[in-house]
Amino acid sequence: MRDAARIDDVRAAVADARKQRRTIGFVPTMGALHEGHLSLIRLARQRADYVVLSVFVNPVQFGPGEDFETYPRAAKSDLEVALDAGVDLYFSPSVAEMYPEGFATIVRVEALSAPLCGAGRPGHFDGVALVVTKLLNIVRPDFSVFGQKDAQQAILVQRLARDLNLPGEIVVAPTVRDADGLALSSRNRYLTADEREASLALSRGLREVEAAYREASSRLCWR
């Protein structure tokens, strides 16, 4: 596995892989890798000859008072996990590499950025759109894999890629859950035991809605 921190090195490595007619799969992450990330890497590994993984805690998607400084970081273990998972190129840029002095560009996906998570975190999705635009233009993959857990983000990225003709297909992979039903997330480590138990109400509710829908559908089919 090659470890790169500079954009030019990533482009050179990907160019070499393309010369060998290798298909490029890309998995962008913010690190603190867990089984959910591994499921994305495995999917990329199944479909691609050459897998690029990025680990970058993107400051511009964090608002004032949010957890940018304390967001889980695990550089050493992330490298080990990526190596074991069969990643070919591990890209871990610095903030200065991604946003050099004088950086002044904003990327916004209107309408999709405003509701739901966007309403409570103004500017969050602008930061997501910006970093995804940069990463896809740096790597220029044949496809990129995003998790369905961040549903609004996945929809926004699909629209962003379509509207800006960004390189590669956007693949959305299923959510991976713990045994108790909680969707895997690097931020789960913030939860107390009581908070974790309370958070399970969401997955339970979703399953109950799904079960009710399936039951209602089956009844309609028999009429």
Say if residues 63 and 99 touch (Cβ distance below 8 Å).
no
DSSP codes joined into one string, 161-179: HHHHT-SSEEEEEPPPB-T
- At residue 129, the 3 state secondary structure works out as helix
Assess whether 37 carries a catalytic annotation: yes
Q: Report how far residue 72's alpha carbon sits from residue 183's, in angstroms, rounded to the nearest whole number.
A: 17
- Of 26, 34, 37, 56, the catalytic one is 37
Q: Which has the closest alpha carbon to 37: 87, 1, 108, 103?
A: 87
Helix axis angle, 75-85 relative to 35-47, nearest 10°? 40
State the catalytic residues.
37
